[in-house]
A and B are shown apart, each in its own frame.
Chain A
Amino acid sequence: MIQSVSMMVQVDYFERLGGKAIRKAESVRGIAALLVAALRRMPVLRRASIRPVLYRQIYFTGIEAFSIIAVMGVLIGIAIITQVTNLAGLNPLLIGKILVWTVVRELGPIFAAIIIIARSSSAVASELGAMKAGKEIDRLWSMGIDPLEYLIVPRIAGSALSLFILTFYFQVAAVAGGLVLSSLIVNTPIIPQLQGIFSVLGLFEMSISLVKSVVFGIVIGTVSCYHGLSVKQSITEIPQVTSRAVLQSLTMMFVLNVVITVFSFLW
């Protein structure tokens, strides 16, 4: 009796685990299908009726995040320079190189993506979820307007463009702000640090960083839209899809970061 109950518990556990894995696989497949469909419709961004949606998305996702990105960038720059100085002594060339290796290669795209996930992923998912629950998606169809073209494509493109701009802005803030403030706080000379930076900062470094930012932006936008549209009928589903959008965006961002880093710098 006890053995059969224990076996039942084990079977139930594996069923739930398997069910979770299947649901995860289905959501990844759904996200990929939405992304492919959206990429095919990117030319609709030329239409005058859709451009305001794109501009609005860039404004809310990108422009409104400028101040927080700048502050975070400067703080990260100061922290890195302080740590390097503490570990390796006053070595301006090394500080410059480490700033590039950490901020440009890794932290720039990642931190900008985290800011966008925190601010916009939940907003997009909840907005689309509310539209779905309120039947506004069906109302668009009844006007002969494809919601994929009017709602999804501008949000994905806006997310990618915003992250591209914010990544670059973060890197400039981290490097420039870090250099200036650390020269005041830690007394490190600026010119040798700049020499260190430019000795390792090349087109390849910048390109990989910006490719990461665009890829992250596309994925974050797609994941947020997918989960928002997965709401069936009830507004009580909205908080659930919002947290799923944030968590899945974070997970996919970190996975893609590793994939791009390994392919770019090791192969």
Chain B
Amino acid sequence: MVRLNGLVTESFGPVSVEVGHGETFGFQTESEYAAGVMMETLTGSLRPEAGSVEVMGRDLYAVERRKAMEVFRNVGVVWSDGGLISNLKVWENIALPAMYHEGASPASIEGRVVELLGTLGISGSYAEAYLSRLPGLLPRHERRIAGLVRAMVTEPGLMIYEDVFDGLTPYEAGRLAGVIVEFHQARAGRASVFVVKDWDSIDLLGVTRTVELLPKNPRR
């Protein structure tokens, strides 16, 4: 599902890794910046200095970006800050990929969205207000929840997460981990890739394999 071959970026490298169907895999980095570089590289936004990045069998940097990003119809990406579009309300952000790729109507996904938000502690009248807000008015972890629900609604075969527990209390982190693990197990063959700063997150998610992203030029 994900194959990195001799990947070298401005922050780390070289990395060679293959993530197969059904796996939970963790990239552990030294810094938030390195985590961001890895996420940008994995999602086709930052060309590596060397090596290749294959997602769902497509080399992201060997073809035109439009062709490369077609595979992301079946990939859910959860950014640490949510990755929302600032001029769309939360509901419009959540529904965007499903409506764009699948032609889904708002009514057809509303139930699933409400259910997912409920498991993440957002329900009732607060959920109504939450869905009608612009992302700029929300705290970081609530934007991240919107990004998570947006990715999950399309039921992708591959999920990529960036530092999902950053800034959460242990209780919130535990609840979120439970939702993520349950989602991973809900579809056979679904792979989950986590880019994190700390090892505690890896344990909470039950990650089976990890790789530490070492700096390119470590301080001696």
Contact = CB atoms under 8 A, between A and B. Distances in A.
Interface stretch (A16-24, A137-145, A253-261): A137-145
A154 to B, nearest CB: 13
A142 B87 contact: no
B1 to A, nearest CB: 15
A49 interface: yes
B86 A143 contact: no
- Chain B residues touching A, majority SS: helix
A244 to B, nearest CB: 22
Interface in A4-55: 47-50
Interface stretch (B17-25, B96-104, B196-204): B96-104
B86 A131 contact: yes
A127 interface: yes
A182 B101 CA distance: 56
B65 A141 contact: yes
A143 B45 contact: no
Contacts of A138: 40, 43, 45
Given A131-B85, A136-B86, A144 B72 contact: yes
B71 A143 contact: no
Given A127-B87, A134-B86, A48 B79 contact: no
A144 B71 contact: yes
Nearest to B98: A49
A147 to B, nearest CB: 10
Interface residues of B, number: 27
B72 A141 contact: yes
Contacts of A66: none
Contacts of A134: 86
Interface string B111-150: 0000000000000000000000000000000000000001
Contacts of A168: none
B100 A150 contact: yes
A49 B101 CA distance: 9
Contacts of B43: 138, 141-142
Contacts of A135: 45
Contacts of B85: 131, 136, 139-140
A139 B72 contact: no
Contacts of B150: 143
A139 B66 contact: no
Interface in A62-105: none
**Which of A141, A142, A145 is most buried by chain B, counting CB atoms within 10 A of its CB?**
A142
Contacts of B79: 139
Contacts of B69: 141-142, 144, 146
Contacts of B83: 139, 142
B47 interface: no
B55 to A, nearest CB: 10
A158 to B, nearest CB: 15
Contacts of B103: 47-49
25 contacts: A47-B103, A48-B99, A48-B103, A49-B96, A49-B99, A49-B100, A127-B87, A131-B86, A134-B86, A140-B85, A141-B43, A141-B44, A141-B72, A142-B45, A142-B69, A143-B77, A143-B100, A144-B70, A144-B75, A144-B97, A144-B100, A145-B96, A145-B100, A146-B66, A148-B66
Interface of B: 40, 43-45, 65-66, 69-75, 77, 79, 83-87, 96-97, 99-101, 103, 150
Given A138-B45, A141-B45, A144-B74, 10 more contacts: A49-B103, A134-B86, A136-B85, A138-B43, A140-B85, A142-B43, A142-B44, A142-B77, A143-B72, A145-B96
